[in-house]
Amino acid sequence: MAHNRYIVIMAGGKGERFWPQSRQSKPKQFLSIVGDKPLLAQTVLRMGDMVPPGNIIVLTGAEYVNDVAEACPMLDRANIIGEPVGRDTAAAVGLATILVRQRDPDASFAVLPSDHVIKNDEGFRSVLEQAFVVAETEDALVTIGIEPLFPSTGYGYIQRGGETMRLLGLPVFDVKRFVEKPSLDVARQYVNSGEYFWNAGMFIWRVSTVATALEKHVPDLWAGLTQIGDDLASGADIDGVLAEKYPTLRKISIDYALMEKADNVLTLPGIFDWDDVGAWPALVRHLPADSKGNIIRGNAIVFEGSDNIVIGSNEHLVTVMGLNNCIVVHTEDATMVCPRDRAQDIKNLVREVSLNPRWKDMI
């Protein structure tokens, strides 16, 4: 167990594509979408004994601090940091850098999403351990790439360069570039080339390395974060400091702010199963289907229909007849029905619901 290593988990997402189960009041990371524990709790437990429990920090929205504490009672309450407003991932990474540096300026830390599904915990920890070793021995920003299983248009990609070293049998590659979510044709080209990983949003680095990179590439953002650090070092209350200073920070993703600009990025292949379960159709990869390909959870029946995803509640029976390739989700106060191939558009549906004063509280 390494005491100068930290794990920072980003738990600020909205999970709109899992509406109506996922709500602003209880987004995706607090739901047991796959498995019997909230996705955030699964992420924390996946760390095993890689770091002491006191070295796991969760960044979330201020309104979700109690939800994090409830989902993850094993966490130190002081390690649950609530952002007063969302300022995207560069500000969150920068804040994590400040917080870890105050505890140990020589530390390294990993930044991980809160809501991905990985079943091979041991394989994941093995790769993360090697990523820490690379970050601690090289002056590099390290990321874990996922070997693409199909030409996804929903993920960003990492184009790898040459192999720079081999660590415990695992290759480490230079990174040529990060690319945004591509069209289907371009995604096919990426996958066929064998040069691209999916970008899973997992980063590992030394405090000094990422601080130097942030100061170089986003000096205005880093200046604001440094001021937050100075205030905290003087003994100011973190909630008060963040309420005053955090909203003034520039809103930009870590990919745009740093990863696409830096020339010292390395990547390791993630040799473990991985799924970011971004929308309802992802359940097909994790839950058993009946003989007609229907995925059913809760009280639900499909009659003369196939390849549907039907999510009922425990108190209410949902019946589906004569429909194929549909998603039906029922909660206490809302029901959503859509074709499976429109699942990515549920985000737009949520926006439409929010425009009606009668229903805005249902998002």
Q: Say what the pLDDT of residue 1 is.
A: 59
Residue 255 CB partners (closer than 8 Å, separation 6+): 89, 156, 178, 199
Length, in residues, of the chain? 363
pLDDT value, residue 158: 97
Kindly report the pTM of this predicted structure. 0.94
CA distance 20 to 280: 11
Question: What letter represents residue 82's amino acid?
Answer: G
In the chain, which stretches have pLDDT less than 70? 1-3
pLDDT computed for residue 169 by the predictor: 78
Give the helix ranges, DSSP H, for 111-270: 121-137, 184-193, 207-217, 219-233, 238-245, 254
Residue 47 near residue 109 (C-beta atoms within 8 A)? no
Supply the pLDDT for residue 26. 92
CB 7 within 8 A of CB 109: yes
Report pLDDT for 323: 98
Type of residue at 107: A
Query: Are 72 and 21 a contacting pair, CB within 8 Å?
Result: no
In this structure, what DSSP letter does residue 228 have?
H
| Domain architecture of the chain: domains with CATH | 5-269 (3.90.550.10), 280-362 (no CATH)
Residue 183 neighbours by CB under 8 Å, 6+ apart:
153
Q: How far apart are CA 87 and CA 97, in angstroms?
A: 15
